[in-house]
Amino acid sequence: MLTEIEKQINLIEDIRELRTIQSFVKNRKIAIGNRLKYTLSVGDEVKVSNGSTTDEGTVTKINRTRAVVDMRGASWTVPFSMITVIGDNNG
């Protein structure tokens, strides 16, 4: 599926269309992050990805738009769109 999307994007010649796609992708990332907010719990093991690097950590607090994650001995406030749950504390 991803290669088909890449092929279609490569066919686009209008910068306005690319900006529309960019806006759609940004909004979709936010929507997925907001959905994660309601399933995330303090103590969850997560991966935090900023696009170039990925670190693992533990959620220590959940705020309205971001979570506080302990990684490598420091606490970081991270947007939900950068978080992926990797562990389950109940099992």
Residues 6+ apart with CB under 8 A from 86: 45, 46, 47, 56
What CA–CA distance (Å, rounded) separates 26 from 8?
A: 18
Instruction: Determine contact, residues 17/31, Cβ cutoff 8 Å.
Output: no
Which tens digits make up the pLDDT trace of 30-78?
Answer: 888 888 888 999 999 999 998 888 999 999 999 988 999 999 889 999 9
CATH of domain 2-85: 2.30.30.30
Would you kindly state where each structural domain of the chain is located, as residue ranges? 2-85
The 3-state secondary structure of 30-71, one letter per residue: HHHHHHHHCCCCCCCEEEEECCCCEEEEEEEEECCCEEEEEE
- Tell me the whole-structure pTM to 2 decimals: 0.68
